[in-house]
């Protein structure tokens, strides 16, 4: 029997939880159909999370994409279908693959598994980032390099900790509901071992009663703890935090059953969410808003 | 002896000839290892200019691997040999990553700006910074001259110079100390 998982019309970091809530109670070998026929919009975080969700299923999942042509076409241009066909049994209309041409897609969905992939991602992002970040989002010209550094560190989190490949995507869009401004968003998702398991084997850690996904995230993101003895480790996320703060951006990382967020004044998210539906790996979202030039 | 290392050339030679970005730990570790190999071949007291001019992007992980870990090997009382480092061609975004790495280990280094100015970067206390600045103005000097310039006791000036030398921020020739970048 196949269980149908309903995908809400608008899919972002908040509403993807509705999808994960439906999947969590099911055994991994339960056949599921992810029904996105009525989806009209999805953030890069949501698209990469859906691919990640597909990776977690022992029984290959089925996927029905958006019926709306514009939505399906856009998902195609983000690279979603190119990877989805490797992971899901696709149902319904699958848009034909087309190369590039989408100005809002700074980096189409790209697999990341090894160090060379990070080099590739950084090379590719720089070709488009300057024009979009500076001319359209009015960020400081220096921001382009720092943005690429942030992307590099976020991707390295997969290479160093996940123990399996993941996905990265970078897009811009207008965030009407929460912000009323354009944003650029980096999404980095993997279905690996997650922060808790990664830090569990850390040097001399005592596993206390309170050791859980939330504590692991706090250790890694707030205190810069790494599973490696090397004191230089853990700098990547600290650097990401620093830049995100400088740009009044938002960083959120979900792992296991918890999500931690560095929340700017324009957002109403909670700094720490616990007791979420269990989901393997780590899912990182970095959102940088358009800078409003001073009058 | 003054040596020059173009980090971008080392990157292309050791990792991939298409790369211009210093990103990821394995890349940084490979570049540092090659720099250490070059240093090992240049025995004796040496000042090595590490030039980032042609490096496009430097991320935090690579700054840690290339800069911080290199300095860690040489600072302190027993460096593998008498090597000093001066950074050049460091852009503002490179500096963000380098400073971040230095702070993590309480390290410091000297860099030369495009206009030739020498800058002390990283974690340095006020006394050490004042001593380094005074020595730079003197051009070179022994503890007596620094004590006079700072209005400090001789023992205090000597201790400051010893500390700066251990941190590889000034070179030592017998009893005379020379700031990096100045002509010995």
Closest CA to A78 of A54, A101, A60: A101
Number of domains in chain B: 2
Contact criterion met (CB < 8 Å) for B25 and A123: no
End-to-end CA distance of chain A: 60
Question: According to the model, what pLDDT value does residue A204 have?
Answer: 56
**Residue ranges of chain A whose pLDDT lies below 50:** none
Note whether A174 and A181 are within 8 A (CB). yes
Pull the structure tokens for residue B104. 């993590």
Cα–Cα distance for residue pair A119/A29, rounded to 1 Å: 35
Q: pLDDT value at position A208?
A: 61
At A105 the pLDDT is 81
Judge if B54 and B113 occupy the same domain. Answer: yes
State the pLDDT at residue A71: 94
- Domain closes at, from B123, B138, B170: B123
Structure tokens at A67: 């019926």
Predicted ipTM beyond 0.85: no
Mean pLDDT by 10 residues, chain B (184 residues): 92 83 94 92 86 94 94 86 93 93 94 93 96 95 95 95 95 92 63
Q: Does the distance separating the beta carbons of B57 and A152 come in below 8 Å?
A: yes
Residues B72 and B24 in one domain: yes
Q: How many CB pairs under 8 A join A and B?
A: 78
Q: Give the A window 199-238 contacts with B, CB below 8 Å.
A: 231-232, 235-236, 238
Strand partners, A69: none
CATH of the domain at B73: 3.30.750
- The pLDDT of residue A106 is 85
User: Do B24 and B105 have their domain in common?
Assistant: yes
Q: What distance in Å separates the CA atoms of residue A47 and residue B44, rounded to the nearest whole number?
A: 57
pTM for the model: 0.87
Strand residue runs (E) in B33-174? 46-51, 83-88, 108-112, 118-122, 170-173
Q: Give how far the C-alpha of residue A193 lies from the chain's centroid of Cα atoms, to the nearest Å.
A: 16
CA distance A117 to B23: 11
Nearest CA in chain A to B16: A116
What are all long-range contacts of A270-279, with beta carbons under 8 Å and residues at least 24 apart?
A: A272/A214, A272/A217, A272/A218, A274/A212, A274/A213, A274/A214, A276/A17, A276/A20, A277/A17, A277/A20, A277/A21, A277/A23, A277/A24, A278/A24, A279/A20, A279/A24, A279/A52, A279/A53, A279/A56, A279/A254
Put simply, the answer to whether B59 touches A146 (Cβ < 8 Å) is no
Q: How far is CA A287 from CA A30, A240, A245, B69, B74, in A?
A: 34, 11, 11, 32, 40
Residues forming a β-bridge with B2: B47
Q: Which among B80, B105, B123 is the end of a domain?
A: B123
Tell me the C-alpha distance between B176 and B171, whole Å.
8
Closest CA–CA distance from residue A260 to any residue of chain B (Å): 22
Contact list in B for residue A119 (CB cut-off 8 A) is 16, 19, 21, 23-24, 27
> Residue A232: what pLDDT?
67
Specify whether domain A1-102 bears CATH 3.30.750.
yes
pLDDT at residue A99, rounded to an integer: 60
On whether the A103-295 domain is CATH 3.40.50.300, my answer is no
Those residues whose C-beta lies under 8 Å from the C-beta of residue A208, and which sit 6 or more positions away, are: none
- In chain A, where are the structural domains located? 1-102, 103-295
Are B63 and B10 found together in one domain? yes
Residue A1, classified by CB atoms within 10 Å of its CB into exposed (0-12), middle (13-18) or buried (19+), is exposed
Print the domain residue range for B165: 125-184
Q: Are residues B168 and B97 in the same domain?
A: no
């Amino acid at each position: 029997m196949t269980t149908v998982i309903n995908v809400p019309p608008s899919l972002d970091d908040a509403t993807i939880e509705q999808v994960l809530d439906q999947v969590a109670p099911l055994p991994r070998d339960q056949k599921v159909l992810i029904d996105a026929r009525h989806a009209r919009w999805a953030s890069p975080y949501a698209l990469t999370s859906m691919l990640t969700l597909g990776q977690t299923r022992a029984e290959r999942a089925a996927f029905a994409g958006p019926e709306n042509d514009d939505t399906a076409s856009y998902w195609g241009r983000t690279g979603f279908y190119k990877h989805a066909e490797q992971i899901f049994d696709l149902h319904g209309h699958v848009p034909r693959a087309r190369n590039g041409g989408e100005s809002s897609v700074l980096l189409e969905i790209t697999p990341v598994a090894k160090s060379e992939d990070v080099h590739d991602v950084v090379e590719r992002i720089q070709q488009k980032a300057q024009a979009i970040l500076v001319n359209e989002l009015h960020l400081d010209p220096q921001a382009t390099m720092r943005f690429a550094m942030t992307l590099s560190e976020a991707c390295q989190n997969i290479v160093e900790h996940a123990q399996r490949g993941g996905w990265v995507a970078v897009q811009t869009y207008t965030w009407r509901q929460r912000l009323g401004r354009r944003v650029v968003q980096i999404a980095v998702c993997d279905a690996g071992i997650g922060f808790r398991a990664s830090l569990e084997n850390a040097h001399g850690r005592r596993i206390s009663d309170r050791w859980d996904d939330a504590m692991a995230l706090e250790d890694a993101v707030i205190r810069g703890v790494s599973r490696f003895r090397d004191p230089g480790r853990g700098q990547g996320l600290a650097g990401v935090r620093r830049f995100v703060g400088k740009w009044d951006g938002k960083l959120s990382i979900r792992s296991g059953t918890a999500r931690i967020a560095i929340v700017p004044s324009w957002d109403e998210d909670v700094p720490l969410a616990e007791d979420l539906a269990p989901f393997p790996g780590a899912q990182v979202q970095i959102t940088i808003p358009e800078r409003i030039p001073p009058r | 002896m003054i040596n020059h290392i173009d980090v971008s050339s080392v990157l292309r030679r050791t990792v991939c000839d298409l790369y211009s970005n210093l990103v990821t730990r394995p890349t940084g570790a490979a570049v540092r290892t090659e720099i250490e190999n070059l240093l090992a071949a240049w025995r004796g007291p040496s000042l090595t200019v590490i030039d980032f001019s042609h490096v496009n992007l430097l991320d935090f992980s690579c700054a840690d691997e290339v800069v911080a870990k290199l300095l860690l090997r040489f600072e302190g009382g027993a460096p593998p040999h008498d090597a000093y480092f001066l950074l050049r061609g460091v852009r503002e975004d490179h500096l963000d990553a380098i400073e971040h790495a230095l702070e993590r280990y309480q390290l410091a280094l000297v860099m030369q700006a495009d206009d030739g100015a020498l800058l002390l970067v990283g974690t340095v206390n006020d006394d050490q910074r004042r001593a380094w600045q005074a020595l730079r103005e003197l051009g070179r000097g022994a503890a007596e001259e620094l004590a006079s310039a700072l209005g400090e006791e001789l023992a205090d000036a000597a201790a400051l110079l010893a500390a700066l030398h251990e941190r590889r921020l000034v070179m030592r020739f017998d009893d005379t100390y020379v700031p990096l970048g100045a002509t010995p």
